[in-house]
Structure 1
Amino acid sequence: MLSKIRKSIVFLSVFLISSSFAATKDLQQIMKDRGLTERDVLAAAKTYTPTGMKDEYYVFSSGGQSGQVLVYGVPSMRILKYIGVFTPEPWQGYGFDNESKKILESGYIRGQEIKWGDTHHPNFSEKNGEYVGDYLFINDKANPRVAVINLHDFETTQIVVNPVLRSTHGGSFVTPNTEYIVDAAQYAAPFENEWVPIEAYEEKYRGGVTLWKFDYDKGKINEKDSFTLELPPYMQDLSDAGKGVSMGWAFTNSFNSEMYTGGIEKGLPPFEAGMSRHDTDYMHVYNWQLLEKLAKNPKNTKIINNHRVVTIEAAVKAGALFLIPEPKSPHGVDVSPDGKYIVVGGKLDTHVSVYDFEKIKKLIDKKEFVGKDPFGIPILDMKKTLHGQLELGLGPLHNSYDKEEGIIYTSLYVDSQIVKWDYKNLKVLDRVNVHYNIGHLDTMEGKSSKPKGEYGIALNKLSIDRFLPVGPLHPQNHQLIDLQGDKMDLIYDMPIGLGEPHDVVSIHASKINPSKTYDKMGTNSRTGEVHEGATLAGQERIERDGNKVKVYMTAIRSHLNPEHITVKKGDEVTIYVTNLERATDETHAFGVSGLNVHASVEPGKTSSVTFKADQEGVFPYYCTEFCSALHLEMMGYLTVKDDKKEYPDYKAAKVAKMSPAELKKEYKKILATNKATDAVIQSVVKFLKEKGYEKYPEIKALVKDALNQYGKIKEEKAKANKAYKDGDLNTAILWENQIWQYMVKTADAGLRAKNLLVKELSTKMSKNARKGEEAYLRGGCNGCHVIGKVSSGPDLTGALLRHENAEEFLYKFILNPEEYYDNPYMDAMIKAFNLRMPNQNMKPKEVKNIIEYLKWIDENAHLNQ
């Protein structure tokens, strides 16, 4: 732990020292001015993540009423992405392109479009109870749905609607090998789609747990093989699946064992009073492996809304369903990493209860019950199933485990605390205050069979005084807690101004391996297959079938093809857009002004949009993702003609404004530019071949991208030559300009490949040289100096060879450049570049590290030749 802290302090010190603010004030002065303590600085050091350094963990958070999922990193707490799930997300085109619209439409309920969601409990796919970063599941409490997110591209690929439950807070929990996704009811309601009076609550209203069968290879829920276990109309809540000794079993808690039905408008006590009358509620204990077999026999099921429901009677008869009393109004139910213990916190009890599964199983095997509930479900004795209880404080809610055996953390809603305690020896170890009214909490991979602990996250419902005020609706507050010492240490406040993020799950970064681009050109990201509208270079076209128009378009830096689309008013238009890029992060997007049309198209992907051209006019379309220097030029025009109208006969004649002599001069100039650019390309190609670029997959992909661009030149050159031969210099210049565009794109990808290859081939930087590079970049030195060539300032390659006692000279010069302006050598440099080296207020240690960096540059100078 100490080594991590020291490392963080070093990074923080580098940042503080090298900033312009720190140039005139030391760390102690900054702390004094801002009222910071040493503890504050240490907390900052623990979370500070320098440019280029990545987080240790991914955190996936429900987005609450936004219907989305948020992704951020730990320990930096930097937001990385919003994933559109149950609601549109415009930046990614989710809910705008046809493919994602189809996903959202699958979440309609009984034909009703649902425009919002209330995401609650995210969970990862698992193998042997360990988190596996292939899939993420998330439930919608408000509209009983579960979604599947493919973590190879962080996109939602499926939404399923629960056919019998009306509200499912208790999802989406996963069995140890992702056989099923457990989705428990919240508010009891009739399974059938019909009106039933509240007076028939006990007879017709029901709770339940749906077990969604997951096909891991396909990455999809198999609705046909899924089923629901009928449960009494107690309000089921959260669930957890057994593991280890409790493998095959699952546990769902509940509230309202009173089966109270409210009626405040009739003068009756409200729900909150009637639902908390009993001293205990029920934990449901059920054997999902046995239920799976029962569901296959029609004798054990009812078919409701084309969905199999295993009846209470069948489950009880088969010995697959039991109840255990638990503290009233429980919320969390969490199985220990070894599967032996089940920990339950009751919101209206100051205690947490630790159940022993082996005791539970013995009672079940002996059929030793204390009675049955009104629905005939056997009830086990609470005291005989308990390992013990421990008083923690007011409002215990949720639990998460530590890597140290027997250690668990519990959130206290009323006390606004997290308590660290030993669930085997029933002993409180530590507690920390949070701000305020904590709901869920998480420790890194804390609910898997191999929790890592290290950090904790408190998901607080109130922030009150923590951040700048933004009106009556305050942001949520996720707080990061360092768990690596004997005492918990709260080190970061993170405001989230989106929805009410309800719960999070975390996973080590090494377990998530997202694709950098889509491997198959023209991939439909929602299915993983090649899209029906996939279009390769040269296949761009516009097809008409009656009043239906299909446009097969490609996108590549820096143009969309085609650039002119003319349709008739009333046409149904479908545009397929394929991103031909192979380079990482070269996303293109497609938007049409004024028509509510948008799609995000990542490298190798095909997206499609369909709309009715019901308005006459001219509608520009463009790439909405800033993708290159010529981003603004990446556009085109959709024109909609009204066939019932007559239009003037406009002549499209072009008249070159240049004289023949000026055109000739311009033509020769562009030829010379293209020749010089091609020379650069050839030198890069020579370097890449000589250094064996094929050994490195990422570099090889960039070279492929570069050669793809370069391969287009031959055809354009033929067009330019023909225009020149025909005496059309204006058109010849345009085609030569297009050739230059392809050359620039080739050079861009090629130089990126070369730079990556240089990094691969370079000798490893020393610690001080790496710090020197950081100081060089933070000091803005790269604004004038480009390693390997002359720019606004001289090339720094060989700088240590240009002076006698060069290290000493450069050390003094960088610290105080103004003292050397009259030096003959520096005077000549100033006149040559018309620029003076400014004083960057570097610290002596920084300058020494920069000199080590310059040594490393010289050591690898041959790679830039």
Structure 2
Amino acid sequence: MRRTFKRLLSLAAAVGLVSSAAVAQSELEKIMKERGLTQDDILAAAKTYTPSGGRDKYIVFSSGGQSGQIMVYGVPSMRILKFIGVFTPEPWQGWGYDDDTKKVLKEGWYRGKPITWGDTHHPAISETNGVYDGKWLAINDKANPRIAIIDLKDFVTKQIVVNPVFKSDHGGAFFTPNSEYILEACQYGAPFDNEYHPMEEYADVYRGGVTCWKFDHENGRVIKDESFVIEMPPYMQDLSDAGKEMSYGWGFTNSFNSELYTGGIEKGLPPFEAGMSRNDTDYLHVYNWRKLAELAKDPKNVKVINGIKVIPIEVAVKNDCLFLIPEPKSPHGVDVSPDGRYIVVCGKLDTHATVYDFKKIMEAVKNHDFAGKDPYGIPIIDMKKAMHCQAELGLGPLHNQYGPKWKTEGEIYTSLYVDSQVVKWDYLTCEVKDRVNVNYNIGHLCGMEGKTEDPQGEYIIALNKLAIDRFNPIGPLHPQNHQLIDISGKKMKLLYDMPVPLGEPHQAVAIRASKLHPEVRYPMGTNPFTGKVHEGKTLAGQEKIVRKGNHVYVYGTLVRSHINPEHVTVNKGDIVTFYLTNLERAEDETHGFTVDWYNVHASLEPGKTVAVTFKADREGVFPYYCTEFCSALHLEMMGYLLVKDPNKKYKSVKKIKLKKMSKEQLMKEYKKTVALNEATKKVIQSVVKFLKENHYEKYPVVKQLVEDAMDQFNKVPAEEKKAEEALKKGDIETAINFQYQAWQYLVKTADVGIRAKDLLVRKLATPMSEAAKRGEAAFAEGGCNGCHVIGKVSSGPDLVGVLKRHENGEKWVAEFIKNPASKYNDPYVKAMIDYFNLRMPNQHMSDQEIKDIIEYLKWVDENANLF
């Protein structure tokens, strides 16, 4: 480590930064010593550290396990970015609490029963030509056989489809190379109908299979009527992969329980785990989905069960579309190489990974060279004749991800559950290259696009089932552990442990962030679930309350910082629908909405319209408010739902009023408010002048802020006109309120305008030296900006020009920062203390921080004309 710093010091000396480098060395060595860090720890930290405002190269979508949701995080930072509501309610986003999201969740009701629990397992990103295109995300629910579709334009679930014949689903979702279909494999064999069948009928009536869900890639929806099921024996089908390139049109699904064992531990029989692992091999299912899709179009080739087309085993076999190949015992994954030639399968109870050659499989199919048939008449291809090679990897091999050197070096990575390792090997030669330990009991692996035709390498993530002693103790239930591994060099290096406190995240997929193009706002009044204008779209000035029988419709808007309307009165027993539109155009200005007691919530991103419906079944007064902290006046962004009983007579109660102001006092207050507004307008005008003189329109982000500010400013004249009209009528109180509302808009204008000015200043100012940058950071982190605002008088004096206010100004300011009390009796400082009624506190800045702050203040003075 010391050698590394010596090299850094030599470089620093060459550019005159010896002092800074020495300070950094000393500070870093101190931290390393205190925390027991090694050089490898520091390098790992550097490889994962993403500075504030920085971006990750990859985005990971991880299943949320028993949460029924999806987790999104970045690589290499491993920062969690979002949880996506899928099969279960997600309160922050109002998922399952407003009308439209309830409709999506209702699509997932299972056999008519509301289901609010899910077990998400295998996410998949839509593909074009065998590579991720970043448009759609699909995921399955193992507990209730369902597939969900998430739109990656807004990261919102748009469709849930229930499998009408399966009773569980572990093996989904898997896109075909051009997203024609999503493959969903059944897990536990069960009757396709919904009737009772005893276990004695298992082999005859219970079935497994793969559902091929037809996918509309343009609109991101499953087309149920064009989907079909491939009937298979009840071998407990597991995971799948779609062929690509030379194996395009074929699908591969492994399975366990070739024994067709049915358990019965309560009867004194061996448990499932014993009876299902007796045979030396299980079966890999090989099927031609493309040919079966054509066969499914002919009614003669299908049975319709519970509304979906099912291709019987005998039809698939007759048309040379379904075959079996023995595979390692208790496999848990099948992975097709990027060129589609090789298929890799690992068996949990076998130490080997088996590599099959698609060319050999097709040769056997062409020549009808079979080792026999299973009890259901499906041809079995001889394992040795289909095999390319076997690799001895270790205990408990599970899942695979390919690396970028797959073509020349057969680069592949496999998780070892029992050994708690990731092993790198060559699937062309079956030679092991490297191993790295993980903590603990790894399940899936997530490579960077590692199952596509264009694997990126760089990193791989171990999705570990156990964390045990890795994190602070938090009770008997431990988090899962996702570990980031650097695979860019010859040896794999563990970089980062990320605790995951959201269910058991079973599998994850990663995509280059550059392929994702999410929206930052919706076109005004959009219903995100249809992509069209929402029926409840309401613009400013269109707010209204409409009664139709006992159904009351509230057409409202939300904008910083009020909800319009603010008073809604209904009768007890009425059905109430709030149609709400977020009128904001600025990015990240989300509002939320809830009503006390009624268990509803909605998240309104800019431009979005939502509907919230409930029955007003309780008399009383119920506040509603914005749930997303959106502005300085967030707490004031509220209203009241008043529910009265139409069968009840209410006595008139006199309002308790505060002491009335005289007319003269009211007029004084009115003039004071008008004067405040005029003063605020002058501030805005000065900001506008600066922006125009410096051509703000050249800078898109600044321009957007200015447009947002002008949206607020343009609302002022209408409020002032209302104030003048009220004043003419002698209603001074109302006139004051309208003037004050105008002031609210002016404050919002000034707030956004000043932000725009500050951003423009940054773009126009001379570049900061490294020392000045450190000084600015120290100024902020040291709390200096709590009292001092550059270019403005705040709780303390403006510091523009402070270095020129005293003889030997730099020395004077440095001494004052170091020991403020030493100058409390200085006439200048005493005058400032008396004026601001504050004393400069000692922030205990180091000498280096003080030097850097002086450099920052020099930079301020260089650009004084901009502040």
TM range (shorter): over 0.9
1:584 is matched with 587
Q: 1:51 and 1:827, CA in 2 relative to 1: closer, same or farther beyond 3 A?
A: farther
State yes or no: 1:603 paired with 2:606.
Answer: yes
| Partner residue in 1 for 2:201 | 200
Displacement of 1:731 after TM fit? 1.6
Q: Any residues of structure 2 matched to 1:177-326 within 5 Å, and which?
A: 177-326=178-327
Q: Please tell me whether residue 102 in structure 1 is matched to residue 91 in structure 2.
A: no
What do the CA deviations read for 1:324-368 (whole angstroms, capped 9, x no partner)? 111010002111222222111100000111122222223223332
Q: In the alignment, what sits opposite 2:144?
A: 143
Return closer, same or farther for 1:818/1:753 CA change in 2, 3 Å cut-off. same
1:546-581: per-residue Cα shift (whole Å, max 9, x none)?
A: 111111111111111111111111111111111111
Counterpart of 2:632 (choices 629, 632, 640) is 629
Please tell me whether residue 501 in structure 1 is matched to residue 510 in structure 2: no
Query: Residue 545 of structure 2 aligns to a residue in which SS?
Result: strand
Give yes or no for contact 1:239–1:252 (8 Å, CA) kept in 2.
yes
Match of 2:733 among 715, 730, 735: 730
Q: Which residue of 2 aligns with 1:376?
A: 377
Cα gap change, 1:475 to 1:823, in 2 (>3 Å): same
Map of 2:783 onto structure 1: 780
Distance 2:123 2:794 in 1: 51
Using the TM superposition, give the Cα deviation of residue 698 of structure 1 relative to its aligned residue in structure 2, in angstroms. Answer: 4.1
Distance change in 2, residues 1:291/1:28 (3 Å):
same
Counting only pairs closer than 5 Å after superposition, residues 326-725 of structure 1 correspond to structure 2 as: 326-405=327-406, 406-518=410-522, 520-651=523-654, 657-725=660-728
Matched-pair contact (CA < 8 Å) for 2:818–2:842: no
SS at match of 1:650: coil
Deviation at 1:467? Answer: 2.1
Compared CA separation, residues 608 and 857, structure 1 to 2 (3 A)? same
Between the aligned partners of 2:784 and 2:24, the Cα distance in structure 1 is: 16
Contact 2:441 2:465 in 1 (8 A): yes
> In the superposition, relative to structure 1, how do residues 832 and 25 fare at CA in structure 2: closer, same or farther (>3 Å)?
farther
Instruction: State the distance in 1 between where 2:571 and 2:814 align.
Output: 71
Q: Which moved more, 1:536-545 or 1:371-380?
A: 371-380
Check the 8 A contact 1:814/1:842 in 2, yes or no: no
Note the C-alpha offset of 1:704: 3.2
Match of 2:18 in 1: none
Letter matched to residue 573 of structure 1: V
Q: 1:45 matched to which residue of 2?
A: 46
Worse-matched range after superposition: 387-396 or 796-805:
796-805
SS at match of 2:193: coil
Q: Match of 1:742, SS? A: helix
1: CA distance, partners of 2:801 / 2:519: 40
Give 3-state SS (helix, strand or coil) of 2:718's partner.
Answer: helix
* 2:82 alignment partner, SS class: strand
Change (3 A) 1:339 1:852: farther
Structure 1 residues 188 and 762, CA, compared in 2 at 3 Å: closer, same or farther?
farther
Q: What is the alpha-carbon distance in structure 1 between the residues aligned to residue 676 and residue 841 of structure 2? A: 32
User: For the residues of structure 1 that align with 2:552 and 2:774, how far apart are their CA atoms?
Assistant: 58
- The farther-off stretch of 155-164 and 809-818 is 809-818
State whether residues 582 and 702 of structure 1, in contact with CA within 8 Å, keep that contact through their aligned partners in structure 2: no
In the alignment, which residue of structure 2 is the partner of 1:17? none
Which residue identity does 1:792 align to in structure 2? S
**Distance across 1 between alignment mates of 2:766 and 2:126:** 40
Match of 1:742 in 2: 745
**Structure 1 residue 55 displacement after superposition:** 2.4
Q: Mean alpha-carbon deviation: is it higher for 775-784 or for 126-135? A: 775-784
Please show how residues 790-805 of structure 1 align to structure 2 within 5 Å.
790-798=793-801
Q: Output the CA distance in 1 between the equivalents of 2:768 and 2:228.
A: 58
Which residue number corresponds to residue 123 of structure 1?
A: 124
Cα–Cα, structure 1 residues 525 and 33, in superposed 2: closer, same or farther, change >3 Å? same
Note the C-alpha offset of 1:538.
0.6
Aligned mates of 2:589, 2:165 — CA distance in 1: 44
Name 1:19's counterpart in structure 2: none
Cα distance in structure 2, aligned partners of 1:460 and 1:102:
35
* SS of the residue 1:414 aligns to: coil
Separation in 1 of the partners of 2:372 and 2:856? 77
Q: Measure the CA separation in 1 of the matches of 2:227 and 2:847.
A: 65
SS at match of 1:539: coil
* Counterpart Cα distance in 2 of 1:766 and 1:128: 48
Q: Which amino acid aligns with 1:43?
A: A
Please state whether the residue corresponding to 2:105 is helix, strand or coil: helix
For residues 474-508 of structure 1, what are the alpha-carbon distances to aligned partners after superposition, in whole Å with 9 as ceiling and x for unaligned? 22121222223332222222222221111111122
Distance 1:773 1:407, change over 3 A: farther
| Gap change, CA 1:421 and 1:701, over 3 Å in 2 | same
Give the direction of change, closer, same or farther, for the CA distance of 1:217–1:797 in structure 2 (3 Å limit). farther
Q: Over residues 221-267 of structure 1, what are the superposed CA-to-partner deviations in whole Å (9 max), with x where a residue is unaligned?
A: 11122111111111111111122222222211111111111111222
Find the aligned partners of 2:335 and 2:108 in 1 and give their Cα distance.
Answer: 29
Which runs of 5 or more structure 2 residues have no equivalent in the other structure?
12-22
Q: Which runs of 5+ in 1 are unaligned?
A: 11-21
Q: Deviations over 1:740-775 (max 9, x none)?
A: 011112222333333344444555556555455444
3-state secondary structure, aligned to 1:44: helix
Task: Say if 1:532 and 1:464 are closer, same or farther in 2 by CA, change over 3 A.
Answer: same
**Equivalents in 1 of 2:204, 2:736: separation in Å?**
83
SS in 2 for 1:132: strand
* Superposition deviation, residue 667 in structure 1: 1.6
Structure 2 match to 1:754: 757
- Note the aligned Cα RMSD (angstroms): 2.8
Identity %: 66
Write the letter of the residue equivalent to 1:633: E
Q: Deviations over 1:628-659 (max 9, x none)?
A: 11111111111111111110113458666323
- Name the TM-score, length of structure 1 as normaliser: 0.92
Return 744-753 or 649-658, whichever deviates more.
649-658
Equivalent pair of 2:720/2:738 in contact (CA under 8 Å): yes
Aligned residues, how many?
847
- SS state of the match for residue 419, structure 1? strand
Per the alignment, residue 14 of structure 1 pairs with none
Name whichever of 820-829 and 405-414 sits farther off: 820-829
* 1:714–1:331 distance in 2 versus 1, CA, 3 Å: same
What whole-Å deviation, never above 9, does each CA across 1:75-103 have from its counterpart, x for those lacking one? Answer: 22222111110000111111000000000
CA distance in 1, matches of 2:615, 2:45: 54
Task: Give the secondary structure class of the aligned counterpart of 1:344.
Answer: strand
| 2-structure distance, mates of 1:666, 1:803 | 43
d(CA) in 1 for partners of 2:398, 2:488: 23
The two structures have a TM-score, normalised by structure 2, of 0.92
* 8 A Cα contact 1:438 1:461, kept in partner: yes
* Counterparts of 2:728 and 2:160, CA distance in 1: 60
**What residue is the counterpart of 1:60 in the other structure?**
61
Deviations 1:388-434 (A, max 9, x none): 11111110011112223322211111111111222222222221221
Cα distance in 1 between the residues matched to 2:812 and 2:451: 59
Matches within 5 A, 1:763-778: 769-778=772-781
CA distance in 1, matches of 2:405, 2:824: 62
> What is the alpha-carbon distance in structure 1 between the residues aligned to residue 342 and residue 768 of structure 2?
49
Match of 2:14 in 1: none
Distance 1:685 1:830, change over 3 A: same
Letter in 1 for 2:521: T
